[in-house]
Chains A and B, each alone.
Chain A
Amino acid sequence: MAFGVSLKVWGEYACFTRPEMKVERVSYDVMTPSAARGIIEAIYWKPAIRWVVDAITILNPIRFENIRRNELANKLPLSTVTKAMKDGVSPVEKFIETDRQQRASLVLRDVRYIIEAHFEFTGPDDNNDGKHLDIFNRRLAKGQCFHRPCLGCREFAAHFGPADCPDPVFPNGGPESMRPLPGVPDDKDLGWMLLDLDYDNDMEARFFPAKIDHGVVRPWKMEEAKA
């Protein structure tokens, strides 16, 4: 844990979709480790390092809301694109009216988390731990990001800052803003939860038995997780 970082993220909506319920999306109760990794990578990442999420502290009570939207049913086939590239006249288009699905999403409301993570090196190059750590913490303090991080889906933007930064719930920041609000489950079994995708093995999903323990979810290590 030599290179640990911690950050606070919050937003009005979040949807950490359960893989078994992707058509009518249903969010997990809490942020998945892979979503937390994505947020950190949106702020700072280089191929030389790999971020590992150690703990996710839940600060706001878990609440759900249902939203139904018109969505596009199908994707654009590659053949359509290549055909148009070849002949220059074939249409490349999708008509939303003929290809529409109305899908509901069960999303989380008003979430706030503290993510603790560290990084490991992926190879022998660029192994200056102080450098990566400083760049990350500088960006975190300034609110800089590579792209705007999101809470599961891009329409649910995430705000972020150092763990003790002022936030909308506790404008003065400080230690109370790092304490869970009343109503946060202290101990809860969340069942099997997505840990992350194993990009070394054909993007296989890995799962772990998640528990909220004193308001904190501690993910397993990738090598312990089950495919």
Chain B
Amino acid sequence: MSAIDKRYDFVFLFDVLNGNPNGDPDAGNLPRIDPETNRGLVTDVCLKRKIRNYVELAKDNAAPYEIYVKEKAILANQQKRAHETLPDDLKDAARTEQAKAWMCRNFFDVRTFGAVMSLKDVSCGQVRGPVQLTFARSEDPIAPMDISITRMAVATQAEADKQHGDNRTMGRKAIVPYGLYRCHGFVSAPLAERTGFGSEDLALLWESLRNMFEHDHSAARGEMASRGLYVFEHENKMGNAPAHTLFNLVDVQRNGDETAPPRSFEDYAVTVDEASVPKGVTLHSMI
């Protein structure tokens, strides 16, 4: 697969309904929030995790789409895979290079996001991937709620004895009633050349952004969905326009009563100023 030869910048919109898109370990797993603006945050690594999980599901963890940073949820089924033996007379540096190339060839997440592999005697044994995601942020301030719930059972005999057989425990669940989040991302063609990130990988990346929430349902997440993926394709490898000017073309505004808190995607209007897309840049609406 030959590497991509164009630069891409993208805007990714997703929303959450009555769920917690990304808990904050510092705040007792409440939804992350920007303390200055009260807007919700979803970290880059949270989204990358979902992309990895989706690719692992979709490609069954087979080369060349293996995933090396895994969650336990999916049992790795080890398969025989195409491999090459290393000549033993290789020097350390060359061995490192070979290992790096092999990792890039076989592992989607290494090829896409890069990876750091610790190496003996050779520092800089790291792969910088072409795809870069930033923190996603909600369009409006979110109002996280803490919901108390009860469980009609207790975990231990001791607890049961304490309650004289009443056997109930209280728990809590943190939710965002509704939030529309916006994430910006970048794909660098020169870095793609180095890791061999090709057009099929790119298609898989878009597919995973479209579908990753469909396979990530859980009690905590509520209803999450991908709502928009606007990809700016540059003709030139280095790009044809500054990224921030392109991102400004995707405008998210409130629909209807702006004083009422937003509660669904219908409360927002996404407008894309296609007329202002600069020459040499093509806009693809992927969702």
A interface residues, Cβ below 8 angstroms from B:
12-13, 63, 65-72, 74-78, 81-82, 84-89, 91-98, 102, 104, 109, 139, 142-148, 150, 154-157, 159-161, 168, 203
Contacts and interface: CB of A to CB of B under 8 A. Distances in A.
Nearest to B184: A157
Contacts of A75: 116-118
Nearest to A161: B242
A66 B33 CA distance: 11
A73 to B, nearest CB: 12
B241 A142 contact: yes
Nearest to B96: A78
Given A139-B238, A155-B134, A95 B70 contact: yes
Interface of B: 24-26, 32, 34-36, 41, 43-45, 49, 66-72, 76, 78, 80-86, 95-96, 98-99, 102-103, 106-107, 115-120, 123, 125, 128, 130, 132-135, 137, 184, 186, 188, 190-191, 236, 238-245
Contact of A102 (B25, B68, B188): B25
B8 to A, nearest CB: 10
Contacts of A139: 238
Contacts, number: 153
Contacts of B34: 65
A142 B83 contact: no
Contact of A97 (B71, B236, B238): B71
B76 A93 contact: yes
B117 A76 contact: yes
Contacts of A157: 132, 134, 184, 186, 243
Nearest to A97: B72
Given A77-B117, A86-B85, A109-B36, A93 B130 contact: no
Q: Binding site of A, secondary structure by majority: helix, strand, loop or mixed?
A: mixed
Contacts of A68: 24-26
A196 to B, nearest CB: 16
Nearest to B187: A148
A162 to B, nearest CB: 10
A75 B134 CA distance: 22
A65 B242 CA distance: 27
Contacts of B81: 88-89
A94 B41 CA distance: 26
Contacts of A92: 66, 68, 103, 106-107
Contact of A95 (B72, B120, B242, B243): B72
A170 to B, nearest CB: 14
Contact of B69 (A94, A144, A156): A94
A225 to B, nearest CB: 21
Contact of B118 (A76, A84, A86, A87): A76
